[in-house]
Amino acid sequence: MFTPTDEKTEVKLLYVEDDVPTRDVITLMISRRFPQLTLLQAENGREGLDLYIAHHPDIIMTDILMSEIDGIRMSGEIKALDKNARIIVLSATSEMSFIIDAIDIGISHYVLKPVKFDKLANAIERCLKGIQRDRQIRQQEEHIRHMAYSDPLTGLPNRELFNELLHQSLAQAQRHNHDRHLAVLFLDLDRFKVINDTLGHSVGDQLLQAVANRLKSCCRRDRDVVARRGGDEFIILLPELDIPQEAVRVAQTIIDSFDKPFILPEHELFIGSCIGISIFPADGADVDTLIKNADMAMYRAKEQGRNRFHLYNRSMDAQAALRLTMEISLRRALKGQEFFLNYQPKVNVKTGRVVSFEALARWQNPELGLVEPKQFIPLAEETGLIDQLGEWVLRTACTQNKAWQDAKYPHLRVAVNFSPRQFLMLQLADMVENVLAETNLDPCWLELEVTEGIMLQNVENTIKTLHRLSVLGVHISIDDFGIGYSSLSYIKKLPINTLKIDQSFISDITSNPDDAAIATAVINMAQNLRLNVIAEGVENEAQARLLNSLECPEMQGYFFSKPLSAEKFPFLLHKRHWQSTSQPIHNA
């Protein structure tokens, strides 16, 4: 006899009967004869149906004539939900029409009342055998499916199952009118063969299992498919992507995750990987093409070196691809010390002295060359990397300034540019304070250059942050002043020391009366508000003279000095470079 042993093999029997004494007696007898069954009881067809939906019993035993929903109707509804449901009808009537109804519905057994328990037990026994047979078949099917579709070493889907799943996802994506993307990532381990040959196949196997787990941890558990194609090749399906770039992020996450060693029972191994990416619909619309193109892209990645990914070309336009390459390089740049600072002096034209110097970030990338801040700052802002970059710039600038002060150069303020986005960081003031403390620089030797853009977001927090810094003694300047969007009233709310007239008003100041008028207005306003004012982007003597005649006290620009490297800048501090205003202004 079939004897269920654990929860998976539990068999539930639902008994629906409105006559309580009958139900009690039969229930008692069943529980004695079939102690392995879990019994559920209902009083009528409606309750029976509710219990069926809640518990999915394997066997349903029911009376026919009951209030609300009768046994035949209930059985019909259950059969509609599960055509394999096993139903035993118990009835006092042997009327042919009832029996025909029962047969039509697909009732398994019909037992006449008064019930001869042996007959009922027999029916139950036959149901149990059927259930056992069904379960065995299902298990075998699952086993065969598992064997046929999974990789025995890693337990991941194998090539066949991957192809099948990719096929299904493509069909779905095609129904979405091509506004959904889907990516195939083809991944190959670098120098796996060396590990296999030197440490043995069992270590190689352990490594492949560890790689399988790591790949899974980089993907979305509920949607993405990580499969092993064989050897050291893995293939990943990323369905339902809003934009192709998401695939690149996953590829980068995987490559970054390979920075950490794989911990095996007796070894800690580092291994790299190369990834090729193809994207539907741009790089192919069928299983074979997408896999072939991802494979080709993987070879291109390998040609370029280790730990890389490569996109099969057509997936993105050149612009998007360049941006993405830059984004990825930018993340690496922060780790790889590819940034440095140049310093540009700000000159007081009355005294001829440098009063401050602005730190300007530079990015030297081995592949992209020297990248302009105009290119990488907006990207760093969009990706949130600006917080890290900004902190690095601040720390480097403060350290440098302190070093020059310690080397007995004149004490000057170092000006650091802060992006509006950095003001979204709630502990910005703490960060600045910490850096000042760490570098041992007196706050009065730090200047922050912020743009009017800071007033477009989280105004309250921004004002609070600036006040805290101002109280500390940090000098605050509004950069690129005049091109902003906000009304001037905000200036009164901010603890500002200096306005920097944007260079767009300076470049044509000698020929464009409008620009000259704006510069004049800013200079006058600054004087009225008792603020310092400086003109930036002063490139020639004519501009400097005009600004001087407008009583602009400070200037910055190529006319005085281009931004200089940290090595060259101190030479400029040694001497008094610029004549006082009583003398003609010229570069000494």
In the complex with ligand C2E, which residue's Cβ is closer, 115 or 334?
A: 334
Q: From the CB of 418, what's the least distance to ligand C2E, in Å?
A: 6
Cβ neighbours of residue 554 closer than 8 Å, sequence gap 6 or more: 346, 347, 348, 349, 355, 498, 532, 533, 534, 535
Torsion from C-alpha of 500, 503, 508, 513, nearest 10 degrees: -30
Report if residue 557 touches ligand C2E, rule: CB under 6 A. Answer: yes
Element (H or E) spanning 577, and its range?
Answer: none
Which parts of this chain interact with Mg ion (CB under 5 A)? 417, 449, 479-480, 536
Report if residue 384 touches ligand C2E, rule: CB under 6 A. Answer: no
Residues in 481-510 that interact with ligand C2E by CB under 6 A? 503
Write the interaction track for ligand C2E spanning residues 414-443; mark x where CB under 6 A is met and - where it is not.
---xxx------------------------
Report if residue 373 touches ligand C2E, rule: CB under 6 A. Answer: yes
Write the interaction track for ligand C2E spanning residues 531-550; mark x where CB under 6 A is met and - where it is not.
-----xxxx-----------
Write the interaction track for ligand C2E spanning residues 387-406; mark x where CB under 6 A is met and - where it is not.
---x--x-------------
Q: Exactly one of 70, 295, 327, 480 binds ligand C2E (CB under 6 A); which one?
A: 480
Report if residue 563 touches ligand C2E, rule: CB under 6 A. Answer: yes
Report if residue 70 touches ligand C2E, rule: CB under 6 A. Answer: no
From the list ligand C2E, Mg ion, none, partner contacted by residue 175 (C-beta under 5 to 8 A by kind): none
Instruction: Give one DSSP letter per residue of 407-450, joined into a string.
Output: TTPPP-EEEEEE-GGGGGSTTHHHHHHHHHHHHT--GGGEEEEE
Closest CA to 447 of 422, 404, 478: 478
From the list ligand C2E, Mg ion, none, partner contacted by residue 563 (C-beta under 5 to 8 A by kind): ligand C2E
Helix (H, G, I), strand (E, B) or coil at 19: coil
Report if residue 7 touches ligand C2E, rule: CB under 6 A. Answer: no
From the list ligand C2E, Mg ion, none, partner contacted by residue 372 (C-beta under 5 to 8 A by kind): ligand C2E
Q: From the CB of 322, what's the least distance to ligand C2E, in Å?
A: 19
Nearest-CB residue for ligand C2E:
557
% helix / strand / coil in the chain, to the nearest 5? 50, 20, 30
Closest CA to 476 of 458, 457, 500: 500
Helix (H, G, I), strand (E, B) or coil at 62: strand
- Other CB atoms within a 10 A radius of the CB of residue 277 amount to 29
Count of H helices and E strands in the chain?
20, 22
Q: Exactly one of 360, 424, 564, 566 binds ligand C2E (CB under 6 A); which one?
A: 360
Residue 29, both tokens: 């007898």
Residue 27, both tokens: 């229930």
What residues line the site for ligand C2E (CB under 6 A)? Answer: 344, 360-361, 372-374, 377, 390, 393, 417-419, 449, 479-480, 503, 536-539, 557-558, 563
